[in-house]
């Protein structure tokens, strides 16, 4: 089960994410990035965060600790933006926190050129994403962090933001466990991911017992009321059955075709050229937002601006 903490201070929103998570301090003296139940993505995004995050951890991948975070909207009364205050006011009670990694950097294409990811580790991340239908870890939005960065220990790759995974739970009645998805533009595709070795090592470990342990970490209140299911435990069992069946069918969906970094660069250049050709002259000078300075990718930058 996940630890539960109580937020004692709301520091700042992180607008880099579509769900506008917030950085908070808690009564255990920890700092967490909190995803709120009142966000537009809804509670299923939090369910996906827990299931995929805890499954990744069980399979040996690095995920910041997840905690259930009790939040009082009064902590955000000083927030100047009305839309953020509305989000906080709609999120009283238990939300999901992720341990804040101070100084962590987004795994951008620029960072990727200087940080070597082992093909075995890359293969395991890609395999996990294919298993859990996480199509949101792309070269443009990696949802990966490199931490630490201060030389105290060797930097490591950390997995974050799994709220868009588990696409099948939005349409339980039409999802086939063996369905294939396009992972050619996965953030780690240029790293030569050894997905076949990952499949051989990880697929046998995705047992019904492990999946039941992982789904048990999801609070009942986030599963209650799911159409077609009588109880939260029935919903948990549906996740267990689906993911177990998908792991057994890995030969059908295993992604193996990834463009090289040079091919990606050429494709991005062609896309940028096509986009600029269709722009009015005054817009052609606007820089590509994906090419923003690496410093903007540092979580601590967002916090310092609020202090």
Domain extents for the chain? Answer: 3-104, 111-253, 261-289
Supply the pLDDT for residue 268: 74
Question: If DSSP codes are grouped into helix, strand and coil, which group holds residue 135?
Answer: coil
Alpha helix segments (H runs only) across 3-139: 43-58, 82-89, 109-114, 119-131
For the chain, state the CA radius of gyration. Answer: 20
CATH top class, domain 3-104: alpha beta
Question: If DSSP codes are grouped into helix, strand and coil, which group holds residue 90?
Answer: coil
Q: Which of 7, 132, 158 is nearest to 68 (CA)?
A: 7
Supply the pLDDT for residue 70: 98
Question: If DSSP codes are grouped into helix, strand and coil, which group holds residue 212?
Answer: helix
Average pLDDT of adjacent 10-residue blocks, the chain of 307 residues = 97 84 98 96 96 98 98 96 96 98 92 92 98 94 89 89 96 90 94 97 98 98 96 98 98 91 78 72 50 44 45
pTM value is 0.87
Question: If DSSP codes are grouped into helix, strand and coil, which group holds residue 239?
Answer: helix
- CA–CA distance, 28 with 148 (Å, rounded to integer): 22
């Amino acid at each position: 089960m996940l630890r539960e903490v109580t937020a004692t201070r709301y520091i700042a929103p992180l607008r880099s994410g579509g769900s506008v998570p917030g950085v908070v301090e808690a009564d255990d003296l920890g700092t967490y990035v909190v995803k709120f139940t009142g966000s537009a993505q809804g509670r299923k995004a939090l369910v996906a965060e827990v299931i995929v995050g805890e499954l990744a951890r069980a399979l040996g991948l690095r995920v910041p600790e997840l905690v259930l975070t009790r939040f009082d909207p009064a902590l955000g009364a000083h927030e100047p933006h009305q839309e953020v205050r509305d989000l906080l006011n709609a999120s009283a009670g238990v939300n999901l926190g992720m341990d804040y990694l101070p100084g962590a950097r987004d795994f951008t294409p620029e960072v990727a050129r200087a940080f070597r990811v082992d093909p075995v580790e890359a293969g395991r991340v890609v395999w996990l994403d294919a298993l859990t239908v996480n199509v949101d870890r792309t070269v443009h939005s990696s949802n990966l962090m490199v931490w630490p960065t201060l030389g105290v220990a060797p930097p490591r790759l950390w997995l974050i933001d799994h709220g868009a995974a588990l696409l099948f739970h939005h349409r339980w009645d039409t999802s086939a466990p063996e369905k294939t998805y396009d992972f050619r533009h996965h953030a780690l595709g240029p790293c030569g991911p050894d997905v076949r070795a990952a499949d051989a090592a990880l697929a046998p470990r995705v047992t019904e017992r492990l999946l039941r342990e992982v789904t048990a970490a999801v609070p009942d209140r986030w599963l209650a009321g799911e159409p077609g299911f009588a109880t939260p435990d029935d919903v948990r069992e549906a996740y267990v059955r689906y993911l177990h069946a998908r792991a057994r069918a890995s030969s059908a969906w295993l992604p193996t075709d990834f463009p090289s970094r040079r091919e990606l660069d050429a494709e991005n250049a062609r896309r940028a050229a096509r986009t600029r050709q269709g722009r009015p002259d005054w817009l052609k000078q606007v820089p590509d937002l994906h090419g923003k300075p690496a410093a903007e990718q540092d979580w601590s930058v967002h916090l310092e601006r609020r202090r």
